[in-house]
Structures are given as C-alpha cells and as structure tokens.
Amino acid sequence: MAADLRGGAADGTVTRVAPPLDAPLLRACRRQPRARVPVWFMRQAGRSLPEYRALRGEGSILDAIRVPDLAAEITLQPVRRYGVDAAILYSDIVTPVAAIGFGVDVAPGVGPVVDRPFACRADLQRLRPLDPDTDTPYVVETVRTVAGELGATPLIGFAGAPFTVASYLVEGRPSRTYARTKALMYGDPGLWAALLDRLADIAVASLRSQVGAGASVVQLFDSWAGALDPADYERFVLPASAKVFAGVADLGVPRIHFGVSTGELLGLMHRAGADVVGVDWRVHLDDARRRLGPDVALQGNLDPAVVLAPWEVVADRVRAVLARNAGHPGHVFNLGHGVLPETDPAVLGRIVELVHAEGRADGEVAA
Ligand code: CP3
C-alpha cells in the first residue's frame, strides 16, 4: 500500500507538517491502543533497495549524507516502496564526529574506520562540542525537507549511543572483541567517562537539532552494548546514555533505545530513560515484557536472516512475533537488527502488509 506523501510547494519550499498524534507509531510508543501495529525496518534506507543503489553512486556514504536533496530522497524511498509507518533519517552514527573533524570515514562493506584512533587524554581535544547549525547543517536541512514531505508519517531521528560510537573511535574499525575499548574502560575509567560524556553531549546536540527540524521520534543506537555484562554496562555506559535521554526529555518525543544481544541489559536500558526498548530475536517479546514490566513499549524482533527464508517460513515467524506480543498496544514491529544487504525488497513489502493485516485484528482485541 502506498504511503501518504505530500509534496512540497511549487516554489520548492517545504512546510513542516507535524504527523498527527494518532499516527500508529506514536501511539504504540506511548502504549496507547492504535489502528494497526506500526512497522518499520532498521536499515530500511539503502542496502537492499535497487533505487538506492541507482541514486547513491560511488564514494563514502558520508558524502551522500552531505547532499540534503539526495539524503531526503533516500530517506523517503523505503516509505514509498514498503508503506512502512515511519521514515528513518538517512545518515550514520558517525556523522557528527566526522563533522567535527575526528577523522572518521565509512568504508563500503566494512563500516566506520578512523585515521588516528582515540587513545589518550589529548585525544579529547579532537572531540569538541557539536554545533548542528554550522557542523551538520545538511542533516538539519534533510530532516526539514523529509518532515515536510512525509505528512502523516513520522520521521525517526537518531544518534549513536556513547558506547557504540566510542567503540569505533577507540578500535579504529569494526571489532568482534572490543578489546581496545575494554582496555581503555578498565584501564583508565576517568578518561573513559570523559570520552563517553563528550559523546553524550554530541548525541544530545544532534538529536535536539533533528527534533527541532521535524523528527517526531528519536532512537539511540547502542548496537554493540551487548558486549558488556550488566555490572559493567551499569557502571561504564548507563550514565552517559542516561545523559542523552535526559537531554532530550523536555522535547516530548518518544525515545527508543536499541542494542543487539542485550537480553541481560534490557532493564538497565529502560532505566537509562527510554520509552521504547528494542529487543533482538534472542529474547521473545513476552519474556522481554516480563523482564521490563508494563511501563515500556517494545520494538522488534524478527530475525533479519529469517527474511531470506521461503515466504511461508517468514509469514509464520511474523505471526509468531505478533502472537508473543499478544495484542499489547505498546509494540512497534521491526527486525531484531538491520536489514541484511541480500534481502529481497519484495519480502519486506509483504511483511508490512501482513503486519498491517494481522496487527489490525490484534489492535481491535487490545483496544
Ligand atoms: O535505514 C536506516 O536505518 C537509516 C540509515 C542508517 C545508516 N546507518 C545508513 C548506512 C542508520 C540508522 C545507520 C546507523 C548505524 N551505522 C549503526 C547502528 C545501526 C546498526 O545497524 O546497528 C551502525 C553500527 C553504523 C555504522 C555502520 N555504517 C556500519 C556498521 C555500516 C555497514 C558497512 C557496510 O557497508 O556493510 C555502515 C554503512 C551504512 N550506513 C550503510 C547505510 C545505508 C551501507 C553502506 C553505504 O551505502 O555506503
């Protein structure tokens, strides 16, 4: 089903049109009965979409992000194709630190890579505060353009959480063990705390600028927080992530907190200040809800690899996620992590249709 996309005015200007408060995503984030189960996909922009690859061209994703018309178009592509209930800004978690000149790029097929990894106290000087209007004006403009075009569909703004961004800055490239990151964390807790505190301030500034320009939900991506045990998470990570959530609390937009392999951390991630906690496929939604109690909505949690299976299997697993949620209004359907590059876009479209069809019935039960 095509999404309701309003175009800008003929003179090229766009007016911000706030999505209605009854948008299914906004209601689900607030755990209010909704017309249907909202669904969107992490990493829905890019990767598996042929229209993305056609537009994107060569070069770093960080260059594409600096062209607002291009970034806005890429943000809107999955909304048009899938009829998802939200757009997510086409950007990256390292956009702000790249913009303040830390020396980070995103290598195709690899992820963020850093010229001179963060290693000592002097490196804090390379992480000055972010001024979104001058450092990332292209992000602000992209958000404004997209919000103007989307009409009734909410735009999700996002930032990388301090731990996950720090892991790239310290390791210098994607890591499996986070050995250097943990060495810094355990070896120099004072410097570690100062690093995370700066990254928290940068995330707050970025998120505030996105909400100011028209994002109506924010998600904090702490993708790799699952590398830590609960005690270390609580001591070394939670204070900085809590600072990010507190720093946007007055804006009144729902706040989603996401990580992978975070089954043991879900309660702490909620405590950090989230209204919605992301759950990956390793924890069933009914178990997650038991762990978290009634005061939080859940997002998830289809295994992204399941999407590559035959359709009957996909459909069964989608229904299983909905069944585990058991009609609870506080559920945002998503994958447990991002769309895999080899995903067939047609299957994602069918998943949206199925969630909307079956989730509608279950919304009626819950209402
Ligand atoms: O659709 C969306 O979700 C919005 C856009 C988005 C991107 N990155 C675009 C992107 C979002 C929300 C991100 C966040 C992000 N970036 C995360 C958190 C989400 C997650 O998956 O856990 C992380 C860890 C990164 C860092 C990063 N950027 C990685 C690991 C990669 C993959 C490298 C690859 O090529 O496989 C990237 C690159 C990237 N970011 C791509 C896209 C569309 C693909 C490469 C490209 O088009 O150049």
Give residue limits of the domains in the chain. Answer: 24-358
Q: Tell me the C-alpha distance between 338 and 223, whole Å.
A: 10
Residues 321, 285 contacting (CB under 8 angstroms): yes
24-358 to CATH, choices 2.60.120.200, 3.40.50.1820, 3.20.20.210, 3.20.20.140: 3.20.20.210
Q: How far is CA 1 from CA 83, 85, 298, 355, in A?
A: 6, 11, 25, 12
Tokens representing residue 283 in the block? 């924890």
Active site residue 290: no
Tokens representing residue 336 in the block? 């447990």
Instruction: Please report the pLDDT score of residue 361 as a whole number.
Output: 56
Instruction: Please report the pLDDT score of residue 359 as a whole number.
Output: 82
Tell me which of 82, 90, 168, 178 is the catalytic residue.
168
Q: Tell me the C-alpha distance between 116 and 188, whole Å.
A: 19
Residues 6+ positions from 197 with CB-CB distance below 8 Å: 162, 240, 243
Our answer on whether the CB atom of 111 is closer than 6 Å to any ligand 1 atom is: yes
Torsion of Cα atoms, 97 then 274 then 138 then 198, to 10°: -30
Question: Atom 32 of ligand 1 has which residue's CA nearest to it?
Answer: 111
DSSP letter (8 states) at residue 127? -
Q: What is the pLDDT along the chain (367 residues), one digit of tens a residue?
A: 333 343 333 444 444 457 778 899 999 999 999 999 999 999 999 878 999 988 987 889 999 999 999 999 999 999 999 999 999 999 999 999 999 999 999 998 899 999 999 999 999 999 999 999 999 999 999 999 999 999 899 999 999 999 999 999 999 999 999 999 999 999 999 999 999 999 999 999 999 999 999 999 999 999 999 999 999 999 999 999 999 999 999 999 999 999 999 999 999 999 999 999 999 999 999 999 999 999 999 999 999 999 999 999 999 999 999 999 999 999 999 999 999 999 999 999 999 999 999 986 554 444 3
Instruction: Please report the pLDDT score of residue 135 as a whole number.
Output: 98
Our answer on whether the CB atom of 90 is closer than 6 Å to any ligand 1 atom is: yes
What is the Å distance from ligand 1's center to 92 Cα? 6
Tokens representing residue 88 in the block? 């997510």
Active site residue 235: no
Q: How many CB atoms lie within 10 A of CB 133?
A: 11
Q: How many CB atoms lie within 10 A of CB 183?
A: 12
Our answer on whether the CB atom of 76 is closer than 6 Å to any ligand 1 atom is: no
Tokens representing residue 37 in the block? 């189960």
3-state secondary structure of 241: helix
What is the Å distance from ligand 1's center to 188 Cα? 30
Our answer on whether the CB atom of 336 is closer than 6 Å to any ligand 1 atom is: no
Question: Atom 46 of ligand 1 has which residue's CA nearest to it?
Answer: 61
Q: Tell me the C-alpha distance between 298 and 277, whole Å.
A: 5
Distance of CA 191 to the CA centre of its chain: 27
Coarse DSSP helix, strand, coil percentages of the chain, rounded to the nearest 5 percent: 50, 10, 35
End-to-end CA distance of the chain: 24
What is the Å distance from ligand 1's center to 141 Cα? 20
Instruction: Please report the pLDDT score of residue 2 as a whole number.
Output: 38
Q: What are phi and psi of 294, to 5 degrees?
A: -85, -5
DSSP letter (8 states) at residue 32? -
Q: How many CB atoms lie within 10 A of CB 220?
A: 27
Q: Tell me the C-alpha distance between 144 and 65, whole Å.
A: 14
Our answer on whether the CB atom of 142 is closer than 6 Å to any ligand 1 atom is: no
